[in-house]
Amino acid sequence: MDYKFATLEDIEVLTSSRVEVLRAANKLSDSVDMSQVEKESFEYYKKALADGSHVAILVMDGDVVVGAGGISYYTVMPTFHNPTGKKAYVMNMYTRPDYRRQGIAMKTLDLLIKDAKEKGIQEITLEATDMGKPLYEKYGFTIMKSEMELI
């Protein structure tokens, strides 16, 4: 397997991978229209890869994408526990079913976390599917008790 940090040249592959991840995570059939998500994801990658606010990894088996992962960087108002205000959010973690249980997701996650730590970011969060929770718990992520969401 080749773990590749994506560049602007990889936008098409990243965008199609993003749609595949969302279909899998949300159990969506191919008949569900994802054209707006695809368009917005393309624009997101174009901006975020250029300005460094997102890092993506593509896992390749030859010319075939078999896994992916990303991490988005952002800043909030500094706090006592996070005096820089810098944060990271892991997203778009995916391994094709026929490549699972080979350590691909763990290695991808490790590369993303190392990238964040090299940037001096200590506060890293993610949203986990039921399938992904064991991986993240094994890595050391814990369930957040104080965060809330308005939908």
* Per-residue model confidence as pLDDT tens digits over 35-77: 999 999 999 999 999 999 999 999 999 999 999 999 999 999 9
Cα separation, 86 vs 83, whole angstroms? 8
Q: Where are the domains of the chain?
A: 2-139
Specify the pLDDT at position 9. Answer: 96
Q: How far apart are CA 106 and CA 87, in angstroms?
A: 21
Concatenate the DSSP letters of all residues of 129-143 into one string. -TTTHHHHHHHT---
| Cβ-contact 11, 58 below 8 angstroms | no
pLDDT in tens, 120-137: 998 999 999 888 999 999
pLDDT in tens, 73-117: 999 999 999 999 999 999 999 999 999 999 999 999 999 999 999
For domain 2-139, give the CATH superfamily. Gcn5-related N-acetyltransferase (GNAT) (3.40.630.30)
Q: Who contacts 60 (Cβ-Cβ below 8 Å, separation ≥6)?
A: 1, 2, 3, 4, 66
Burial of 42 (C-beta count, 10 Å sphere; 0-12/13-18/19+):
middle
What pLDDT, on the 0 to 100 scale, is given for residue 148? 85
By CB neighbour count within 10 A (0-12 exposed, 13-18 middle, 19+ buried), where does 119 fall?
middle
d(CA 126, CA 87): 11
pLDDT at residue number 114: 98
| Relative orientation angle of helices 35-51 and 11-25, to the nearest 10 degrees | 130
What DSSP line would sit under 24-82, residue for residue?
HHTT--TTS--HHHHHHHHHHHHHHHHHTSEEEEEEEETTEEEEEEEEEEEE----SS-
Report the pLDDT value the prediction gives residue 146, as an integer from 0 to 100: 82
pLDDT digits (tens, 9 = 90+) for 5-44: 999 999 999 999 999 889 988 889 999 999 999 999 999 9
